[in-house]
Amino acid sequence: LPLPQLLARPFAALVLPGCDEKRLPPVPDPVGSWSRAQRQAWGLPTRETLAAAQRAAWHNALHTPVVDLLWRSGDDGGEPLLASALVLALQLEGAACTGVDARRPRSVAAAPTPRPLPQGQALALRTLSSTAYSDLRLCPYRFFALRQLGLQAADELAGEVDKRDFGNWLHAVLQAFHEDLLRAPADDPATRVARLDGAAQAVTQKQGLGAGEFLPFAAGWPPLRDGYLHWLAQHEGAGASFRQAEQRATRPLGPVQLVGSIDRIDAVAAADAAANGPQTLLIDYKTEDVGRTRQRLRAGAQDTQLAFYAALLGDDDGLRAAYVNVGERGQTQMYEQADVLPLRDLLLAGIAHDFGRIAAGAPLPALGEGAACTHCAARGLCRKDFWDA
């Protein structure tokens, strides 16, 4: 227990760890940057008050019948640490003696964990989303654990607004803005700014986001808003028009149903002059670093998201697909996937092949390679850190 929590609580024995010079200074530093005069004026504890309280708690702890004082001889960086001055004073007074470590060293034979090779034919999925299939491509074991077994990591940051919450918020804001613009068109830049701000306020209230928690993202909203509206004007100037947002779509593929929600669908002028009428452009918003968005396009068949959404819209041979990176620094850019139709056909064939192998009992190994392992909710299950090299 911290020293103050030992007051008026008698124990038969006490183990007091962390008695080094950094964690148990004889005079604690006051919290904050206020001066001594300011602390006295506001009734805040001074350095002398904190030192007296520390020593009183220390002497109270030492009245326990049996006390073991522990401290580290070095920190995580290798810097040596001395015992606290309070401990050194006890040794000089002869009131403390050096303890004896009763632990005995022992040898433990290495017993590495084999790489898991589960089978998932008894856990067939009825629906498949883009993120679920991405898990299968990145690591079959992750797909087995998170999708087939349905295991989910606990949200340790519940209640705090993170980057994903901001992305969801932005999706809802842009949906509300474009649907309102579709009902009542307006080309005036000032009117569009006011409407987009109104959509942002309405979504913030609807989602119950606290002003304090959302402040870091709200501070970057004006440049993001202006950058998006600038891109939108250029996009519309090239002949594009909004059709719908957050479109739910499904497609049967053998025993599984492909499901997903497409961020936005636009009608655009045909890239081929011989084409009849406008083409359909599906858009997926991204709030990530622009380099990450470019990397998605360079990955080709390894990035399945746009191809998956293209498959949800059927076999439209005039379909186009693109990522729209909505930058928080005022830069919104569109990155079109030029080969989305061949990638769509390749993806459908790949899904059919992969699920056929799973149904036939093919193992779903943990790959343990690449960036996918850096942040993986299934890492504690696959035991990668204990595999036999």
Residue type, 205: Q
Q: Which residues contact 377 (CB under 8 A, 6 or more apart)?
A: 142, 145, 146, 151, 152, 153
> What are the sequence ranges of the domains in the chain?
3-93, 127-159+207-359
What tokens does 166 get? 């901001």
CATH of domain 3-93: 3.40.50.300
Nearest to residue 133, comparing CAs of 346, 313, 321? 346
Chain-centre distance for alpha carbon 330: 23
Cα separation, 281 vs 275, whole angstroms: 14
Say how many CA atoms lie within 13 Å of 171 toward its Cβ. 18
Q: What is the pLDDT along the chain (389 residues), one digit of tens a residue?
A: 778 788 888 899 999 999 999 999 988 888 888 888 998 899 998 888 889 988 999 999 999 999 999 999 898 888 899 999 999 999 999 898 888 888 899 999 988 889 899 999 999 999 999 999 999 999 999 999 999 999 987 665 445 566 778 888 999 999 999 999 999 999 999 999 999 999 999 998 898 877 777 777 788 899 999 999 999 999 999 999 999 999 999 999 988 999 999 999 999 987 665 566 789 999 999 999 999 999 998 887 788 999 999 999 988 888 999 999 998 788 999 999 988 999 999 999 999 999 999 999 999 999 888 778 888 888 889 998 888 76
Strands of the chain, DSSP E = 13-16, 66-69, 127-128, 241-253, 256-268, 279-286, 320-326, 332-336
Per DSSP, the residues of 245-263 read EEEEEEEEETTEEEEEEEE
CATH of domain 127-159+207-359: 3.90.320
Strand 332-336 and strand 127-128: the pairing is unpaired
Whether 3-93 and 127-159+207-359 share one fold: the answer is no
Cα separation, 340 vs 86, whole angstroms: 70
Q: Decide: 226 and 331 in contact? Cβ < 8 Å.
A: no
What tokens does 244 get? 């719908």
